[in-house]
Amino acid sequence: MKMKRDGRKVKALRTPRSAAIAGMVFAVFLATSIILIRLSIARNPADAAVWLAQGGRRTLALVAINLIPFAGIAFLWFMGVIRDRMGEREDKFFATIFLGSGLLFVALLFVSAAVAIGLIAMLKAAPLETAQSQIWTLGYHTTFALLNIFAIRMAAVFMLSTSTIALRASFINRWLSYLGIVIALILLVASDVVAYINLLMPLWVFLVSADVLIRSRRERREPAESTG
């Protein structure tokens, strides 16, 4: 496809097929982070100093936290892929909710990671003082509130808007759209109640990315076969 600009023909940019893999990368990174954080970080302040002395658990926590920025970057690429699939069929109302909730989700994800890193750094600098104060409790609950209450609920809104647009534009399988709506409603109600239920969100993103990748390859293969 070509466009005219200032009397010259300019070739339109095309979304690379590899961009669809970004959603899979996001899903793997976020799921890994959620699991490692829950398994490694001590909840009780009395266990904080002991937790710091356990190098294995501390390393797992740091790995999980450092994966979050890369998960956020991959999610932005995933959003770009979804917008590309929408094309001219994009609805302004749902597109605004789609962009707003997606960007808020990434921002809250980054904030929760920053609070967790600050908490670990404070505990490492003054383990006894931090463990004996309320700082660890505050930091722990703040981190999980940002992740499980605010970030995941923004992700649920993102899934609702994406699934609604997909039902109208049919750029992914309809069963994925209905599945996204169901998962989003579950996360809106129980994201901070049931352990590991937040893994449903990256699972859905992984399935959507796989579907987009398969469809894009099929669409590029069909013109080549027709011309051949």
Residue 1, pLDDT above cutoff 60: no
Query: Of 7-11, 95-99, 206-210, 215-219, where does mean pLDDT reach its minimum?
Result: 7-11
Q: Which residues does residue 158 pair with via DSSP β-bridges, in sequence order?
A: none
At residue 9, the pLDDT reads 40
Residue 185, pLDDT above cutoff 60: yes
Query: For residue 2, what is the enclosing H or E element?
Result: strand 2-5
Question: Is there a domain that residue 126 lies in?
Answer: yes
User: pLDDT (tens digit, 9 = 90+) per residue, 60-91?
Assistant: 888 888 999 999 999 999 998 888 877 666 67
At 226, is the pLDDT very low, low, confident or very high (cuts 50, 70, 90)? Answer: low
Question: Is there a domain that residue 140 lies in?
Answer: yes
- The Cα 37–Cα 22 span in angstroms is 22
Question: Is there a domain that residue 15 lies in?
Answer: no
**Mean pLDDT computed over 196-208:** 93
HSE (side-chain half, CA atoms, 13 Å) at 130: 21
HSE (side-chain half, CA atoms, 13 Å) at 176: 19
Question: Is there a domain that residue 54 lies in?
Answer: yes
Domains identified in the chain, total number: 1
Question: Is there a domain that residue 5 lies in?
Answer: no
Q: Which domain holds residue 99?
A: 20-86+93-219
Question: Is there a domain that residue 74 lies in?
Answer: yes
User: pLDDT (tens digit, 9 = 90+) per residue, 13-62?
Assistant: 455 566 678 999 999 999 999 888 877 766 665 666 566 566 667 778 88
